[in-house]
Every structure is written in structure tokens, then in C-alpha cells.
Amino acid sequence: MNIEKLDLLKPAIDFLISEGFSNLYPPQADCIKAGLLDGKSILVSAPTASGKTLTATLAIINYISKNNGKVIYLSPLRALASEKYIEFKKLEKVELGKKIKVGISTGDFENIEKNLEKNNVLILTNEKMDSIIRHGAEWIDEIGLVIVDEIHLIGDETRGPTLEMVLTKLKLLPSKPQIVGLSATITNSDEIARWLDCTLVKNDWRPVPLSEGVYDDGKVLMSNGKKFNIEPSLCGIPVDLGVQSVKEGGQSLVFAETRIRSRSLATKAADVISQLLEKKESEALEKISKKLLSNNEHTELVKTLATLVKKGVAFHHAGLNQNCRQTIESEFRKGTIKLLSSTPTLAAGVNLPARRVVISNINRYNAKVGANRPISILEYKQLCGRAGRPQYDDYGESIIVGNGNSADLFEYYINGQPEPIISKIVDDKSLRTHVLSVIVTNPGIKKEAILDLFLQTLGGLQSRKATIKFAIDISLRFLENSFLLIKRGERYAATEFGKKTSMLYIDPLTATYFRDAIENVSKERKHTFGFLHLITNCGEFFPKFSLRNKDYETASLVIENNSSELLEPISEYDCSRSLLALQSWIIESSELSLSDGLGIESGDMHRMIETADWLSYCLREISKHLERADLLDELENLRKRIIYGIREDLLDLVKVKGIGRIRARILYKHGIKTLDDLTRIPVNKLADIDKIGLTLANNIKLELHKVR
């Protein structure tokens, strides 16, 4: 189907052609035939790289050109949302007789930005959309098109229920918005389509044909009938398979089951890959390696990464900070890095295709059962979906490394059907959270109406009515007993505490845990370490690292040194390594010392800071609700210390934009301890201080006026 023949305005056609589109892929053409441009709701079930983003673009352009409402693009991850924002921002150039304004919002669930309503295309995470609905934003009724990326994640235990509730509420809006669901190939896509009242567009076409195979005992058998041998080397089979593809002019993505293994596989591949590089490539990689070292603290992880990058190899996992991850992703996309060894988190995140994907082990550690378990077929299909680079390759390959069981692996994973998507809405945590949210947004609602709403969810379609009714009864009892809601006759309404809990976007169980702790906090002394323990001990805190054997002595010492700040007596067995890391962070420990001393890498620390920032804010808001004015300053200061990683004596200086933890400490050592000191020092003297300079000194002086 030719782009020029689509029923779109000429400026839209011209824009699409300028972006390099001329003909539609088969799944895209099927969407047009199914009524995408006629406002029909559609569920697209198609492989990775089959052009689902262009389908979304066509839907957006078509809707905006014909309507005055809003378009919502839902993304499961912030990183993906940012990618889509950059992509859709280009649409602002298209003249459709009205201005396209693209906005993004992915964090801070308590505050709903006022300027959001000025945009007619909004990129949001699922959680942000849920929060907007809870806050009752007036523009929700203007939503006319909802595009849902990675809709198959409804089956995810942690994030699935939120997406399910958001879609349930959006499909029931009076405006009856057009819904365009974008999904990987899933077995029960017809059931999901029926639930959303969508036309199903199912197509297994890929722009780059994919062949899947299994390695066993020196041989690889592929699904297209091709067989070939691999000469094992000391590097190990996963690396041998990756290197073979690089030798043939491709790139390789090797999935490892753990962070340690991803680093180990990259290290083993480095010397072989380095010999395949041209001089120009080696020179470019040398610059990237230096960039990594100059932009990051020299932890062992960063130094190892920089050394490997010089050789055309890298590893990728959640322990790396955003700066390192973005550099690695960018250089792999460009083809500078030839082989990338990664944990599976990459498969669910950014789009990084390679000619060959190697799955080094089909087992993953499962925290629920405390042991390794084989991955699901759906996860396997997500991993192998990364094979084949549309711009560069005529084919893509994915190979599982077997262990004497190739026939079983072939039958189960390659010939098998992905597991059906099963709703997790009736899980305890999700149900109490969403039942409370429903009551907050519908004060005076009856139990029958609550049940009716939950019967409209995917879980309502997949479960017996009696099962959902029983689960709702348990949630209502918990919420009532915890004083989050009250029942008058047959009607339910949230208490003020219940409303606050829902707006804070926090699990009701965590809210009651915080409330009970705050009610018992004594006055007239500091509680900083006790608050940190409270935050890291709740269900929402992530990532949570348990103590290693060598950490118990450290934990015991930290408890002893901060015992006066505890909310209740604790021992080292009540501690996590995350608590020790946060305590170290707020007394200005460096990333290097956190990595060396506690084994906490900067990527993990960043996520801990983000979570602790949110939870300390929740703690302060609950304290305010409980009229504990005596705790507010300390909690506000704790939040700032968590954000900046500073001791209390630097709180004044970091109010000025451009001054972070390192510069603030340098200024303090030079006798500049307050904003008054900063005001008095002449610009030229300020500029002479290490890590300041004239430009920053002038900026600091300008910013100073804003905070005084």
C-alpha cells in the first residue's frame, strides 16, 4: 500500500515521505483496511520491528486533522516514553490546519502539571495516566485517541494491573475514545481485542526474516533447516556464536542471566573482537572509552566497561548509570560496538536490534521461589525479537545455547506458542490499591457498582464473578479496618487519609505502615536514620539488596552510631544493604566508595534515590495530615539530603542551581557556608575556586537572586 494513496492531508503525506516512508508494511496496511483512519479501535499483534510506531503516527495525524480532542500515548517505561517523545515531537512541523503540540510527563505522581492540558498529544507512562485519572483532571473527557504501547504487559505482575485499570476507565469514558493497542505476538490476542472492543490485526510479518535455532554439542540447528558447526574455544559457546556473526559483518547481542555473567561474557569476547576492528573503528572506540572515564567516577565497573569498549565490546545492565547506558546504546546503534552482552532488562526497554541474538541460558533467578527457573516462551520471543537490523541485515538469527536438551528446547521455545496474557488485577496489593482509587474518584459508590467496574476489566472477563466479588470484599474489609474508607449504609466513601493515600500513589498497606510509625514517633529529637529504615523497609522501596555476610558487622556499627535516631529498636537482621547505602549517601560517600564498600553500583543508587525521594515525600505528607508539624522540617531536609547526597551543613548552598554535592563541599571548605557568604564573595574570587570558573560563577550569582 502506497503512502501517497492514504486518505490524509497533503502536508501529512509530504511529512511521511520526508521521513523516508513510501510504502506500508503488511501489518500497517492491514490496520488501514481494518479502519484505523476511520476511527475504529484496533489491536495490533505483530513481531518487534514490524512498524508499529508508524501505525501510531498515522493514527495521531489522522485524529488531529479531523478532531479537536486529545491523543494519549501510553508507554510502560520512562526510557521508552522519552524515545517516543523525541519521535513524535517531529509531528509539530506538520501543517494540519491546527497546531500539534506534543508533551510528556512520566514522574511525580502527586503533582499534575498545569501545562499538560495545553498539549493535544501527550506521552505518558501508565502510572502517570492512572494518577491523572485519580486527580480528576478536567481534560480527561477530551481524550479521543488512546495508543497503548506494549499492551501485552497487562500480564506483568507489578505493572500490569495499573495498565488494566487505566484501559478499563478510558474505554468507559463518555467520549468513547478510539483505542490502538500495540502488542508483541500473543496467544490470546483475540480475547484482549474482545475485552477492549477492538478489531484484531494479527500479522507475523517482519521486515527482516527471523530464523531461530538451538546450539548443542558443536552444532546449531535453525528453524529454516540450516545447520552449521561451531568450533568451541576457551571463550565459551555464547561468545563463539556472537563472534562468528561479527566476523560475517553483523552485530551480536548476547543475553546473560545475571549481571556478573554479562560482564564475564563481554570480557571473554573482547580480545577476539578487537582483532577484527579496522584502525578507524579502534580510534573511534578509544574516544568513547575516554568519554566514559571523564564523565563518570572511576568505579571498577566503569573502568572495566571503558577497557572493553576500546575493544569493540560492552556490557549493559541496571547497575550502570544512565550516562553509561545511553553511551553504550548509542554506540551499539551506530555499529561502533560490535558485541553487546546484556541482562534481559534490555529486551523490555529500548530498541537495540542485532543480526544475531544469543541466549546464553534459558534459566533466570526467580525471587518468589528462591531458585532458577526457565524463562517463559513470551519472554523468549521478546529476546529473539531483537534479531535482525532493518537497515543493515537481510536476515536475523536467534540461538539458544542448549545443554544436551536441544530437541526439547526446540520444541518448547521455537515451535511453542507464547503463554496467554492473564490478568493480575485480583492480586491483594493491586486490588486494595485500585478499589481505594475507585472509591476516591466515585464518593458514595455502592459495592455493586465497584464490582460492576471490576467485571469490566480483563480479570472480569477471565475470572468468575464470585472470585472477584470475594477478593473485593477482602479489600474493602482491609480498607475499612485501616480507616482508609467509611461505609454509610450501602455506600462507601474515602476518609481524608484514604484520599491522601490514593493521591500519593502509594500502596494502602504502606500508607498505614507509615501512619502507625509516625503516630508513635517521639518529639524533641532527630529521627533521620529511623526514617531511612522505615522507607527502605516498606514494600514500595526498590531496589532492595540484602546484606552479604561481610556486611553484618558494618550494619551493627551503623545502628550503634545512629541508635538515638531510631523509631524503634532494630538489629542488623532488620537491615538491608540499601539502608546502609542511603545512610552512606547522605553523609557524602562517593559512588566509588559505595561500589567498593557495599557493592552498590551507580545505576542502582540512582533508582534508590528516586524511590527514597518519593517515599520521603509521602512520609512528610502523611505527617502533615497527622498534624505532626514537629516532623516536617526534618523530613523536608531528609528529602533534600537524599536528592543531593549531602550532610545537613550543605542544605543552604544546594538551593542554588549549578551547585551540587561536590561543588557545595568545595565551597564549604573555602569558608562559603551560607547564601550570605555566597552573596558577599566577589565573582572573580568565586571563579578562582576549584570546579567553579568564571562562567559558572556568573551563573551562580544570577541564580542566587532567585532563591534569596
Q: What is the pLDDT of residue 627?
A: 96
What pLDDT digit, counting tens, does each position of 655-702 carry? 999 999 999 999 999 999 999 999 999 999 999 999 899 999 999 999
For residue 463, the Cα-to-chain-centroid distance in whole angstroms is 29
CA dist 623 and 621 (Å) reads 5
Residue 349: which pLDDT band, with cuts at 50, 70 and 90?
low
What pLDDT digit, counting tens, does each position of 632-649 carry? 999 999 999 999 999 999
**Is the domain 508-645 a CATH 2.40.128.260 member?**
no
Cell digits of residue 604: 542502582
Q: What is the pLDDT of residue 404?
A: 82
List CB contacts of 312: < 8 A, sequence separation 6 or more: 270, 273, 274, 276, 277, 281, 282, 285, 336, 337, 338, 339
Residue 77: which pLDDT band, with cuts at 50, 70 and 90?
confident
Is there a contact between 332 and 314 (Cβ–Cβ < 8 Å)? yes
Which sign, positive or negative, has the C-alpha torsion 385, 387, 391, 395?
A: negative
CA distances to 178, 582, 638 from 612, rounded to whole Å, are 38, 9, 10
Residue 438: which pLDDT band, with cuts at 50, 70 and 90?
very high
Nearest alpha carbon to residue 606 among 171, 263, 296: 296
Q: Which residues pair with 396 in a beta bridge?
A: 210
CA distances to 31, 32, 199 from 8, rounded to whole Å, are 15, 12, 21
What pLDDT digit, counting tens, does each position of 365-422 carry? 776 666 778 999 999 998 998 999 888 899 999 999 998 888 999 999 999 999 999 9
Cis peptide bond N-terminal to 682, omega within 30: no
Q: What is the pLDDT of residue 368?
A: 67
Long-range contacts formed by 274-283: CB under 8 A, 24+ apart? 274/310, 274/311, 274/312, 274/313, 276/246, 276/247, 276/312, 276/338, 277/311, 277/312, 277/338, 281/312, 281/336, 282/310, 282/312
Domains 3-202 and 653-707 share a fold: no
φ, ψ of residue 488 in degrees (nearest 5): -120, 110
Q: Which residues pair with 469 in a beta bridge?
A: none
CA distances to 160, 168, 194, 430 from 459, rounded to whole Å, are 11, 11, 13, 12
Q: What is the pLDDT of residue 115?
A: 78
Nearest alpha carbon to residue 580 among 544, 538, 549, 616: 544
Right CATH number for 210-414 from 3.30.2320.50, 3.40.50.300, 1.10.8.60, 3.40.50.170?
Answer: 3.40.50.300
Q: Cell 550502570 appears where?
A: 320
Is there a contact between 397 and 245 (Cβ–Cβ < 8 Å)? yes
Q: What is the CATH number of domain 653-707?
A: 1.10.150.20
Q: What is the pLDDT of residue 44?
A: 96
Entry pTM: 0.93
| Rounded percentage of the chain residues whose pLDDT exceeds 90 | 87
What pLDDT digit, counting tens, does each position of 22-48 carry? 999 999 999 999 999 999 999 999 987
Mean pLDDT across 279-293: 97
Answer whether residue 310 shows pLDDT above 90: yes
Answer whether residue 110 shows pLDDT above 70: no
Q: Where are the domains of the chain?
A: 3-202, 210-414, 428-493, 508-645, 653-707
Q: What is the pLDDT of residue 108?
A: 66
Right CATH number for 3-202 from 3.20.20.150, 3.90.245.10, 3.40.50.300, 2.30.130.30?
Answer: 3.40.50.300
DSSP annotation of 394 reads S
Mean predicted lDDT score pLDDT of the chain: 94
What pLDDT digit, counting tens, does each position of 566-612 carry? 999 999 999 999 999 999 999 999 999 999 999 999 999 999 999 99
